[in-house]
Amino acid sequence: MLGYSGGVDSALLAVAGRRALGPGRFLAVIGRSASYPEVQHAQAVTLAHRFDVPLRETDTHELGDPRYLANPVNRCFFCKDELWTRLGALAAAEGYDVVIDGTNADDLGEHRPGLRAAEQHGVRSPLAEFGWTKADVRSAAQSLDIPIWDAPASPCLSSRVAYGLAITPERLRQVEQGEAFLRALGVSGDLRVRHHDARARLEVDPVHFDLVRNAWMEVEARFKSLGFAAVELDLRGYRRGGLLPMLEGATA
Whether the pLDDT of residue 248 is over 70: the answer is: no
Q: pLDDT per residue over 3-27, tens digit each?
A: 999 999 999 999 999 999 999 999 9
* 191-203: average pLDDT: 97
In the predicted model, is pLDDT for residue 245 greater than 70? no
Assign a CATH topology to domain 2-143: Rossmann fold (3.40.50)
Q: Are 139 and 133 in contact (CB under 8 A)?
A: no
Identity at 165, one-letter amino acid code: L
- Does position 71 have pLDDT exceeding 60, yes or no? yes
* The one-letter amino acid at 46: T
pLDDT higher for 111 or 101? Answer: 101
The pTM is what? Answer: 0.90
pLDDT for the residue numbered 153: 84
Q: Work out the percent of the chain whose per-residue pLDDT is above 90.
A: 91
Mean pLDDT of the chain: 94
Cα–Cα nearest to 7, from 37, 49, 52, 50: 37
Residue 242: predicted pLDDT: 63
Query: Residue 250 pLDDT more than 50?
Result: no
Residue 35 · residue 157 · CB < 8 Å: yes
Provide the residue ranges of all domains of the chain, joining segments of one domain with +.
2-143, 157-248
**Does residue 144 carry a pLDDT above 90?**
yes
Kindly state the average pLDDT of the residues 201-207. Answer: 97
Helix (H) or strand (E) holding 32: strand 28-32
- What topology is assigned to 157-248 in CATH? Alpha-Beta Plaits (3.30.70)
pLDDT digits (tens, 9 = 90+) for 168-188: 999 999 999 999 999 999 999
Q: What is the pLDDT of residue 251?
A: 32
How far is Cα 252 from Cα 158, in angstroms, rounded to an integer? 18
Q: Beta-carbon neighbour count of residue 91 at 10 Å?
A: 18
**In a 3-state reduction of DSSP, which class is residue 90?**
helix
Q: What angle do CA 139, 10, 29 make, to 5 degrees?
A: 160
Rg for the chain, CA atoms, rounded? 18
More confident call, 247 vs 124? 124
Query: Model confidence at 244, in pLDDT bands (50, 70, 90)?
Result: low
Query: Would the CATH topology of 2-143 be identical to that of 157-248?
Result: no
Q: Smallest Cα–Cα separation from 17: which of 99, 93, 132?
A: 99
Cβ-contact 125, 209 below 8 angstroms: no
Cα angle 28, 33, 39; round to 5: 75
| pLDDT given at position 183 | 96
